[in-house]
Structure 1
Amino acid sequence: MRVIYNEQMADLANLLGEMAGLAGQAMERATQSLLQADLALAEQVIGEQDRISVMIAEAEERAFALLALQAPVAGDLRQVVSAIQIVGDVNRMGALALHVAKVTRRRHPAHALPESVNGYFAEMGRIAVSMGAAAKEVLETRDPERAAQLNQDDEAMDDLHRHLFTLLMDRDWQYGVAPAVDVTLLGRYYERFADHAVEIGRRVIFLVTGVLPTDEDLETS
């Protein structure tokens, strides 16, 4: 029974890692579609969301089956509960990439972004994609030190988001209300994508050590 349980947990961890990788890839394509006003890329992201949704449902089913059939306790229970919570984070990451693609589609053939903020979103997209790949790595390796490093990338994302907000509040903003709304929403999508990647890192640390780190713990690690 123990061997079977370990194999099932390993399979679930691999599935979660694959899903995180797909979320990162979706955000990469969504960012390209946003910067280039590429409708085909946006439609690709939107169309592939069904694949992620199927995997989400499969991961949830496997996790709940482990709870029901294996009746885990102590550290084993911690692993299963963490996995269920990670499913939710990965699901949100995929949904946020989908939101970015939908903004591109809604504004097409126009660009959703004023040219002056393209550089901000190119960098936010780069960080988000990197964090998606790191989340995948962390889920597969269960390396708590690498998991803690996700918080550093999130700080860079937060800095960009704050700076972007100052541009919107500047009296010299000349692009009108609709672009301001799009930039505000899009900035939030990238920020939240990074937040969920950090949360995955926290869950992995908890899974390995039994201690859920606070924000202060991650900042000093």
Structure 2
Amino acid sequence: MVTAQDLPVLPSANVRAYRLVNSKFPPIAIFDDVASVDEFEELYALQTMTNPRLANQAGRLELIPRPDIPFGIPGCSYAAAPFTHVNPDGSRFSDGSFGVLYLADVMETAIAEVRYHQQAYWSNVPDLRYERFVFRGLTVRFDEREALDVLDVPRTDPVYASDSYQASRVLGQSALTAGAAGLRYHSVRQPEGVCWGLLTPRQVASVVQTAHYEMIWSGEIAAVHKLSTRVG
């Protein structure tokens, strides 16, 4: 079984990648309103006195070291949110006890990944005949140094299993324990696509919203449409 010790460490390289997030989850303003850890602590303490919902909005801050949050960058909340709002059901590289920021090499890969998981989720909702799901398209710039390269691992390896995360979660946990910044790997849902699973947001330089997309459900994800483009 592949572990962190089996993989090469990537050198510094500035990467542009893409992500889709459901529009029902708004940006978390407090992450974007400050430029340092000290400013965050002061503002958070002040706002919790008057905003009882702030803790829910910010998420589980104990899951991420404060120095790992890239305060001051454009879109800091988008970078931090996957680490404070962790899916308890887990994901490909996490058992649900820690967060992962998943990114794709092109928007088509991001759409393919999200489409697969939306299809799987909504297929289990009885009597859902028609629905429209809207997502924000994000462009992310980050440095992939200290991430582990999984691209040379054969696609036949269990870490790339389509419907089982057992091997990939072992890899994710070993990478986290080893202090790796993330994993670069083949997309399982998009042929020739490449993805990253960042285990920390500290090397993210910017996250910018660029467009909205909708997925149409009519017994399955029948179509994906780009709704708008935002310059930024």
Q: Which has a greater percent of strand?
A: 2
Give the TM-score taking structure 1 as reference length.
0.28
Q: Which has a greater percent of helix?
A: 1
